[in-house]
Structure 1
């Protein structure tokens, strides 16, 4: 059985590239340069005709994952909007100020997710105690944990990823993400038999408009999902 490939995208072009390249599932976001925010209604609408499952990020603002009541209200509304659109699932997380998972907030959000698949995102990478956090994620009913092993990228976090996988004991899927590509995926997969991996499959592109860059509307370089990168990584996943 091949490894499932999830590709994170934040644009119409990225969504099309992920599907064309053979991704098994898409994490739909806006502003991936900020770690991913809730996708726009228009992008959600475009994703409703996708032939593969689409999970929408539920994150109403950039920054940390310590959410005030107004943030939580926005997230509950966003979950409802994703369900109404007919997408397959949602992706979210919440922490307390000390980094622990915010069980109370996550429980409220999970109650709103009836009929949806749910991924716990990299808020998990802030937790001080892996065992406690994995147990909490299982109790709350998450399908999987997206994690980079509490590190900037998955390769740097491989020891934590291995520990998290062992702590999960098959009760919940552990999906590594951050910095994974065709050139390094084998380093993770040869050490831990993950069932799923997460990647942007993106390449750097130059700004389209120098004037827009000068005024701050574009960065000096930006990342864009590559059909070829998706196709290559999926071919590797299929071979596992």
Structure 2
């Protein structure tokens, strides 16, 4: 999708991507204005690789599905076995109908793991070519753990990365505006997508940096369906809340869509 410079000739509304964990979430995203979804499981853990069956079901909803490939929670430094597993997961989610994959890896010193990212990207592009189609490869927020996200972004085109999800190296995208703009300048061949603690009120400032898309989880806790008492399944106090899960909030998706469209109209008017 081509994007014009905000406020300039040919300006378009930035794309809206919603992180979902189910077909129901994908339908909510579709019906309230999302352009695509990122599919994962374990959203409360920062997202993990979804099952092949989940990819098939969400792809049937009709929006482009970008599947997160992350084999475990925690840091982004992977051993050889984990890397091989994620290569297989990349191929699996593409075979199941994903329009793109979301990957990333770092070295122990916090630099972008160029070799691993290139291997994951190559596996994705090879799998897509085998099916006679192209796809997007997104680098996820591992880039925000790098000392210099803009310098890391400049490496991405050579690795076959078409998009990067980032908060600009800050705790939230709204706090990373300067770095987001620097990343856009450093990697003109890569779509920069702002994500990380995004609230609807943040969207105008994010779009003003020139980002190509905005990413939200738009999540809310589901009402528990159980009856009776709940026995915690883990050792932490947080396990007391494990009798529920996150679902996609239609109101948040709709508000984000309106904010993006309003910003687009203001820039073109």
TM-score by length of 2: 0.82
Aligned mates of 2:253, 2:162 — CA distance in 1 = 23
Aligned to 1:224: 247
Name the SS of the counterpart of 2:154 in structure 1. Answer: helix
Name the SS of the counterpart of 2:70 in structure 1. Answer: coil
> Over residues 32-87 of structure 1, what are the superposed CA-to-partner deviations in whole Å (9 max), with x where a residue is unaligned?
11111001233112023132110000001111111111111111111111121122
Matches within 5 A, 1:10-159: 10-114=21-125, 115=128, 116-159=135-178
Aligned to 1:199: 216
* Contact 2:40/2:49, CA 8 A, preserved across alignment: yes
Q: 1:185 aligns with which of 177, 181, 203?
A: 203
Number of matched residues?
Answer: 238
Please report how far the alpha carbon of residue 126 of structure 1 lies from its aligned counterpart in structure 2 after TM superposition. 1.0
Report the more deviating stretch, 10-19 or 58-67.
10-19
TM-score by length of 1: 0.91
Gaps of 5+ in 2: 1-11, 129-134, 234-238, 265-269
Please report how far the alpha carbon of residue 135 of structure 1 lies from its aligned counterpart in structure 2 after TM superposition. 1.9
Aligned mates of 2:20, 2:52 — CA distance in 1 = 15
* Contact 1:146/1:177, CA 8 A, preserved across alignment: yes
Please report how far the alpha carbon of residue 18 of structure 1 lies from its aligned counterpart in structure 2 after TM superposition. 1.1
Gaps of 5+ in 1: none
Aligned mates of 1:108, 1:188 — CA distance in 2 = 31
Please report how far the alpha carbon of residue 4 of structure 1 lies from its aligned counterpart in structure 2 after TM superposition. 0.5
Aligned mates of 2:231, 2:22 — CA distance in 1 = 19
Q: For the pair shown, which has the larger CA radius of gyration, 1 or 2?
A: 2
Aligned mates of 1:83, 1:23 — CA distance in 2 = 21
1:172 has 2:199 as partner: no
Question: Superposition RMSD on alpha carbons, in Å?
Answer: 2.0
Aligned to 2:229: 211
Aligned mates of 1:96, 1:177 — CA distance in 2 = 22
